[in-house]
Structure 1
Amino acid sequence: MEGVTLRRGSTTVFSGLNLELVESRIGLIGDNGAGKSSLFRLLCGLDTPSAGRISVHGTEVGPTDLRERPVGMMFQSPDEQIIFPTVEEELALGLEVSGVPRRQAREQVREFLRDRGLGHWAERAIACLSQGQRQHVCWLALTIAAPVLLLLDEPFASLDLPGQILLAQEIQQAPQQIIVSTHVLNHVRHFERVVWLAEGQVRSDGPGQEVCAAYEVDIARRMDSHRLHPGATLALM
Structure 2
Amino acid sequence: MRKRIYEIIELANENDKISRIYDVIMMSTIFISLIPLAFKTDFYMFHIIDVIAVMIFIVDYLLRWGTADYKLNKKGIVPFIKYPFTFMAIIDLVSILPSITLMNGSLRVLRVIRLFRTFRIFRIFKAVRYSKSIRIIRDVIQNSKESLIAVGVLAIMYILISALIIINIEPDSFNNYFDAVYWATVSLTTVGYGDIYPVTSLGKVITMISSFFGIAIIALPSGIITAGFMESINAEH
TM-score by length of 1: 0.27
Higher RCO (C-alpha under 8 Å, 6+ residues apart) = 1
Structure ranking higher in strand proportion: 1
- Higher Rg: 2
TM-score by length of 2: 0.27
